[in-house]
Amino acid sequence: MLLYNSKLIGTPILSVQASGPIARIAAPIVNPDNLQIIAFKVEGPIINATNNILDVQSIREYSNLGLVIDNNDELIGPEDVVKIANILKLNFNLIGLKVETKKGSKLGKIINFTVTSEDFTIQQIIVKRPAVKSLLDPELTIHRHEIIEVTDYKVIVKDEEKTIRARAAKEDFVPNFVNPFRTDPTFVTSDTKELKAN
């Protein structure tokens, strides 16, 4: 299932041991090398500097009630896992980064992104268009396969703007009807045979 980052913020963290919520998500910690959320910063009444990080490997499942973990011992400090500590030092934030094509055409700024609920891999970035271009197309959705480079200041995509928009429109289109006028042998009835004969 795809989840919007904006919907993840504030999501309760449920402990099986406590039989209820013990914290909530404050912010994702994103690895810029592979665009995957490796952990979440959390907040809540029992949260302090020694237990304000949730490693995604500790998450049992994502449900409509929140993220489920075994107990509050799963919450760790910022320095407890080397990989997480190194990513935190980068102070990387995907939201607000500029998006450009390889040729330097400016597409806008990232305002949101989607992740999979299974492994929290970022699948799409949602880009707010510049003021002039936003009149016709306020947002642009770009799939992770279009991204070729992520820096501290911008995300570079490989395709031109028109191609990205066309591909996004094609992916969003789901036919929900059957065309009765389609020239397909399975749709030919005795009535249509008579019409063709006349």
Q: Indicate the domain borders of the chain.
A: 2-90, 98-172
Per residue in 86-107, pLDDT (tens digit) is 999 999 999 999 999 999 889 9
Backbone angles phi, psi at 84, to 5 degrees: -65, -40
pLDDT in tens, 28-64: 999 999 999 999 999 999 999 899 999 999 999 998 8
**Kind and range of the H or E element at 190?**
helix 190-197
Is this structure's pTM higher than 0.95?
A: no
User: What is the total residue count of the chain?
Assistant: 198
CATH of 2-90, one of 4.10.860, 1.10.3210, 1.20.81, 2.30.30: 2.30.30
- What is the fold, at CATH topology level, of the domain defined by 98-172? SH3 type barrels. (2.30.30)
Q: Give pLDDT < 50 ranges for the chain.
A: 173, 180-182, 185-198
Q: What b/e string do you get for 139-170 counting C-beta neighbours within 10 Å, with b at 16 or more?
A: ebbbbbebbeebeeebbbbebebeebbebbee
